[in-house]
Structure 1
């Protein structure tokens, strides 16, 4: 991959990690409300913990470039679920665009991984291109 691509992916990876970390932290800090919201859309309460953990832990992992491709898949699945259960009612209103953009960023990370200033190449040395594949 060329250096410009890697720098661009690094920037996407870092900001995506921060965004998911903050959203996961917010869910944990207001878990009672998160559980109520999940219940209001027909999801079991334990899913609030699962999604919050994916966002919080996944955000940290992606920020540091660790298991980027796997976490990218988890983020994408989470966002697809959010879009289907909540956002389809108003597809381009009420910050749905933000979810679409995060979905595409997550798919990009899942497909390409991220090597530049990432831990993946050091932790998963035996994997092709230093990226953990999903």
Structure 2
């Protein structure tokens, strides 16, 4: 059986549809996770324990605010403005972030930080999405 190939131009269109299509009314949610887990292809929303430090809440990522897709190192790439959380209480360690559908039912993607972060005052995440054909 032949491999399905998504051409470079197609990658740009598909990723744009996935994240920037404003005819889809549901935004997506960005969350920090506090459990020491490494995301994998079989991860689900239940894999992650959401951060809960004082002042924390999930961030809604509006579709219209993603950058236009571009090609970076041969892959479709989109990014979003930096998102910052401020801790108003005790320090908490976070290991990465995950992105879900607006209803929290489906995990879209997750990224573990290179090193865990101890959130004593603020922490920032630069949401990004890279898509490419595996062939």
TM-score strictly above 0.5:
no
Identify, as 1 or 2, the structure richer in helix. Answer: 1
Structure with the bigger RCO (C-alpha within 8 Å, sep 6+) is 2
Identify, as 1 or 2, the structure richer in strand. Answer: 2
